[in-house]
Chain A
Amino acid sequence: MEEAERLVKKYFEFVSEKKFMGLKCKKCGAYILPPKSICKKCGSREFEWVEFSGKGSLYTFTVIHVAAKRFLNDAPFVVGVVQLEEGPRITARIVGVDPNKPETIKTGMPLKVTFIESDEKVLLAFEPEK
């Protein structure tokens, strides 16, 4: 299956175009992110790309103060795990919140997808849903 071999690259090509796409299992309908070569629910290897709604909620988060070298200029910044409406969770930057006031950032808060640029790349990010 030719397509399966380039699922991960394809995902990041979409991100670079500021599109939030994920896989949908053709057999059981499960949504899959990050991409995998097999559906963990049913074992199928047949997928289609679908656009995710970009809606979700904050599952957990941290504020990175001591960053890796390539992100030194971004610190402090928030990274969270986002519970997506479609079922999977994804790790992403959380923007539009105050990294210096973590007590004001609430898990469970509704979020929507956005994209930021850092390290000369487009990164997946989420911001509070107004």
Chain B
Amino acid sequence: MMKKVAVIGVGLTKFGKHPKVSSRELFAEAAFKAIEDAGIDLKDVEEAFVGSFLPDVLEHQGHIAPLMLDYIGLTGIPATHTEGACASSGVAVRMGYMAIASGLRDIVLVAGVEKMTDFPTSDVTEALALASDDLFEASEGLTFPGVFALMAKAHMDKYGTTEEQMAAVAVKNHHNALFNPYAQFHKEINIETVLSSRVIAWPLKLFDCSPISDGAAVIILASEDVAKKYTDTPVWIVASAQASDTMALCEREELTTFKAARMAAEQAYKMAGVKPKDIDIAEVHDCFTIAEIIAYEDLGFCEKGEGGKLIEEGETEIGGRIPVNTSGGLKAKGHPVGATGVAQIIEVVHQLRGEAGKRQVDGAEIGLTHNVGGTGATVTVHILRR
């Protein structure tokens, strides 16, 4: 029988530009915070999973899991790097979950880290494009924003979704980030800010895109017996799901949805024994504004094609029917790609513990995270409960 898995400690760096430090220092800051939050000793950690997407390409550094752990004085234990593009650390969370659920481990450290702002935008654009099918799509000139722009255009054609509705996602997430001290941006914007920003990949403009960021996020997972020893407020991971799809967009039946997201969500709801209407808060992968609108639909928060209406009617704001991205999301909290999956879990933990300050959703009991890798070829969905 599978064991219950709790999050007993969380640690986050501020997201944004950190020109004076390397990724290992970002990792260490988050790791020591998480260990302190959990109330464990460093030596209690039995295994570690570190999600990161581009350390080899950008930082010229491979084999980063033992490197990170060594920097905090933790050698000897198994340390594994997971890579699933922008879902790299969502995948790490699932590995950590499985290590404990299987009974093999009692305390596991799960991290996500990425260092991106030291490099020119064209280099980062080139690097991020590694998450698409290089031969068949990136080599035609398709960029990462371009992938989501193709989907945005398909969604606009099929459902009448508008650029204003997409802009509303950015406006909401920038507003939420005002109340998140870890967020990259603390700046209110309006629809016009988005619509008048320069075009990146038509119809997506600069303010439809998440920024380039540095950051690290670490959580400590524990089995039920151990969790009870360290905390009175464990947050349980009640579902951990992952699915895959074709890398190339041209091979998908539909370009208005992520099949892997729908599959992972379906598995997660089944595993947790809950329905979309039971979710109190969600952190979804808004790497581009259209991605949040598609996420509403893929996760069952609204009918297919009605995502644009859901944001327009304010249903996903704090105080709405289903608050989404209370942290500010990838758009305004920042998107150090490999750190995002764990950072999403941390926002849900803050909310379920009632520690989210001015962005707190009253009485939140069940939260969901949705982490999309690259073109959506990997998606993880986690459900947490207090």
Interface set of A (CB-CB < 8 Å, partner B): 8, 12, 34, 59-72, 74, 76-77, 79-82, 88-93, 102, 107, 118-119, 121, 123-124
Inter-chain contact A59/B202, CB cutoff 8 Å: no
> In the complex, what residues of B have CB within 8 A of residue A65's CB?
198-202
Are the CB atoms of B125 and A60 closer together than 8 Å?
A: no
Whether the Cβ atoms of A81 and B157 lie closer than 8 Å is no
Minimum Cβ distance to chain A for residue B241 (Å): 24
Asked if B129 CB lies within 8 Å of chain A CBs, one says yes
| Closest chain A CB from B155 CB (angstroms) | 9
Which 6 A-B residue pairs are closest in the complex by CB-CB distance?
A62-B149, A63-B202, A68-B126, A60-B154, A89-B250, A69-B122
B250 and A69 contact, CB distance less than 8 A: no
Residues of A within 8 A of B75 (CB): none
- CB contacts (< 8 Å) of B177 on chain A: these are none
Whether A102 and B255, one on each chain, are in contact in the complex, defined by CB atoms closer than 8 angstroms, is no
> Which of A61, A67, A102 sits near B143, CB closer than 8 Å?
A67
B41 interface residue, CB < 8 Å from A? no
CB pair A102–B203 under 8 Å, yes or no, is: yes
Is residue B142 contacting chain A, with contact meaning CB distance below 8 A?
yes
Within 8 A of A (CB), among B185-202: 198-202
Whether A69 contacts B153 by the Cβ 8 Å rule is no
The proximity string for B residues 94-123 relative to A, scoring 1 for CB distances below 8 Å and 0 otherwise, is: 000000000000000000000000000111
Query: In the bound complex, do residue B202 and residue A91 qualify as a contact, i.e. CB atoms below 8 Å apart?
Result: no
Known: A64-B201, A66-B125, A66-B145. A79 touches B140 (CB 8 A): yes
Q: Which of A59, A82, A93 contacts B141 (CB 8 A)?
A: A93
A8 touches B198 (CB 8 A): no
Complex CA distance for A14 and B282, rounded to whole angstroms: 47
Interface pair B138/A68, CB less than 8 Å apart: yes
When chains A and B are docked, how far (Å) is the Cα of A19 from the Cα of B198?
Answer: 37
Chain A residues contacting B150 (CB-CB under 8 Å) are 60-62, 79-81
Instruction: Assess the A91–B121 pair: CB atoms within 8 A.
Output: no
Q: Complex: how many Å from CA A82 to CA B248?
A: 13
Chain B residue with Cβ nearest A118: B141
The 8 Å CB contact of B251, one of A60, A70, A89, A121, is A89
Bound CA span A44–B199, Å: 44
B-side interface size class: 35 or more
Pairwise interchain contact B125-A91, C-beta atoms closer than 8 A: no
Mark interface residues in B199-224 (1 if CB within 8 Å of A CB, else 0).
11111100000000000000000000
5 A-B pairs with C-beta separation under 8 A: A60-B151, A68-B141, A91-B137, A107-B153, A123-B140
**Set of chain B residues within 8 Å of A67, measured between Cβ atoms:** 122, 125, 141, 143
Q: Is the CB of A81 within 8 A of B135?
A: no
What is the bound-complex CA distance between A72 and B146, given in angstroms? 14
B87 → chain A closest CB, angstroms: 21
B157 and A69 within 8 A (CB): no
Q: Shortest beta-carbon distance, A130 to chain B, in Å?
A: 23
Interface centre among B136, B146, B250 (most CB of A within 10 A): B250
A63 to chain B, nearest CB (A): 4
Whether the Cβ atoms of A62 and B146 lie closer than 8 Å is yes
Counting CB contacts under 8 A, is B249 at the interface? yes
Q: Does B139 contact A (CB under 8 A)?
A: yes
Could you say which residues of chain B place their CB within 8 Å of the CB of A59?
154, 255
Do B123 and A91 touch across chains, with their CB atoms under 8 A apart?
Answer: no
What is the CA–CA distance of A70 and B140 in the complex, to the nearest angstrom? 11
A60 touches B153 (CB 8 A): yes
Q: Are A34 and B143 in contact (CB under 8 A)?
A: no
A57 to B: closest C-beta gap in Å: 13
Given contacts A67-B143, A68-B126, A93-B141, contact A62 B202 (CB under 8 A): yes
Q: Is the CB of A69 within 8 A of B142?
A: no
Q: Chain A residues near B141: list those with CB within 8 A.
A: 64, 67-68, 71, 74, 77, 79, 93, 118, 123
Shortest distance in angstroms between A86's beta carbon and chain B's nearest beta carbon?
13
Given A59-B255, A63-B202, A64-B201: A81 in contact with B143 (beta carbons within 8 A):
no
B145 A60 Cβ-Cβ under 8 A:
no
CB-based contact B143/A12 at 8 Å: no
Q: When chains A and B are docked, how far (Å) is the Cα of A89 from the Cα of B248?
A: 10
CA A99 to CA B145, docked complex, whole Å: 16
Assembled-state Cα–Cα distance A93/B146 (Å)? 12
Given known pairs A65-B199, A91-B137, the reply for A81 and B250 (CB within 8 Å) is yes
A69 vs B146: C-alpha distance when bound (angstroms):
14
* Complex: A118 Cα to B140 Cα, angstroms: 9
A79 to chain B, nearest CB (A): 5
Which residues 245-295 of B have a CB within 8 angstroms of A? 248-251, 255
Contacts of B142 in A (CB 8 A): 62, 64, 79, 91
